[in-house]
Amino acid sequence: MSSSMITGGVGMVGRQLARMLLARGERVDILDVAPATKLPADIRDRVTLIHADLTNWAEIMHAVASNRPDTIYHIAALMPPNSERNHAASWEINVNGTMRVLEAARLFGVGTVVYSSTTATFASQLPEPVPNDHPQFPEMLYGVTKVCSERLGEYYYRRYGTNFRGVRFLSILGPGRVPGSGWSAYTSLVIEECAKGNPYVIKVDEDLRLRFIYVKDAALSLMKLADAEEGQLTTRMYNLDGFSASTRELVDGVLAHVPDAQITWEFDPEYQHVMDTRYGVIQHRMDDTLAVQDWNWQTSFTREEAIGDFIKDVRQGRT
C-alpha cells in the first residue's frame, strides 16, 4: 500500500486530496497544526493526524521519521492576507518550513515531494498567457516565499535526487475559505454563503474577470503530477490554468442553484484597487501547455460544474 503525507492536510485542498488518496487505497498521514476537530467527519477516522509545526525542526524530522511516507504533498503555508501581516511567521513557515520538509525527505528517503506553489509568484503586469518560465517578481511576500521554495526544491532534485515536482495554482474556488485565508476569499465566499442561505455583499465591479481552478481540480492535479512518469517531465514546476469568470457570471451561477440568494452590490473602490494591483496576477491566463503535454493535465470542472458541485457539497456538509 502506498502512503502519503499531506502537510496542511486539514485545509481546503489538502482534505480533498486526502479523500482522493484514500479512495484509491493509500494510507494518508496529515501533518497540521489544526486540531482533529477541524478534519471533515468523513475522513477523520481514516487518516492519521500528526500535530506538528513547520517552524520546528525536531517536529518535522520526527513526523517523517515515524511515518516514512512514499510521497509528501507539501501544501501547508501561511496565506494572504495573514502572510503579509506577519512576515516573520510567513518566512519561517513557508520558506524554512519547505527547507525542513525537503531535508526530512532527503534524510529519511522519501521518494517524492509534490509542492503547491502559486501564480502569485509572478508580478501583476504580465503577457497573455503567462509562460511557464516567465520571470518571477512577486508583489506579495506570499509569492516571494513560494519562489524561494520552488528554487530550493529544484536544487534538491538536481543535487540529491529528491523527486521534487510542483504546480502553480491560480485562485482556488472552493468551500472552506475564511475572510483572510486567501486571495479571492470574497469570490469563493459568495458561493459558500449563499449555499448556506446567508446574505452576501459584493464590493467589486460586476465585470471584474478573474481566473479560477476548482478545489477538486487543484487536488487532482497534485495527485496526477505525483503519478506522472519521470521521463515525461520537462520541468519541475508547472503553471496550471482554469476557467474564467466575471463577478457577474459567478453570481449568475449561484442564482441558478440558489434563486433566492440575498446578494447585494456595494461597489468599494478600495477593494477593486486591491484586486487590480496586488491580485492582478489572477486576471491573467496562464500557459499550461507543459502540464498538458508532460502529464496530460486537464481540469474536470467547467465554471458551471464547479459552482454546482460547490453548492451541493456545502448543502451536504461535505466540505
Min CB(243)–a copy of itself separation in Å: 27
Minimum CB–partner distance for residue 85 and a copy of itself (Å): 9
Cβ closest to a copy of itself, residue 144 vs residue 190: 144
Question: Contact residues for a copy of itself (CB under 8 A)?
Answer: 51, 53, 55-59, 61-62, 65, 84, 86-89, 91-92, 95-96, 99, 103, 107, 133-139, 141, 144, 147-148, 151-152, 154-155, 158-159
Helix H or strand E encompassing 169 = strand 163-169
Between 1 and 88, whose beta carbon lies closer to a copy of itself? 88
3-state secondary structure of 10: coil
For a copy of itself, which is the closer residue by CB, 96 or 246?
96
Q: Write down the least CB distance from residue 65 to a copy of itself, Å.
A: 5
Alpha helix stretches (DSSP H) within the chain: 12-23, 41-44, 57-67, 82-85, 87-90, 97-107, 141-160, 185-195, 215-227, 247-257, 269-276, 289-295, 303-315
Residue whose CB is less far from a copy of itself, 92 or 217:
92
DSSP state of 130: B
List Cβ neighbours of 76 (8 Å cut-off, separation of 6 or more).
7, 8, 11, 14, 31, 32, 54, 93, 97
Cβ 31 to a copy of itself, closest distance in Å? 13
User: Residue 274: which of 140, 155, 126, 103 has the closest Cα?
Assistant: 140
Cβ proximity to a copy of itself, 28 vs 147, nearer residue: 147
Residue whose CB is less far from a copy of itself, 155 or 271: 155
Beta carbon of residue 129, minimum distance to a copy of itself (angstroms, whole number): 16
Task: From 313, 217, 215, 206, select the one nearest 250 (Cα to Cα).
Answer: 206
Residue 55 to residue 32: CA distance in whole angstroms: 12
CB of 276 to a copy of itself, least distance (A): 16
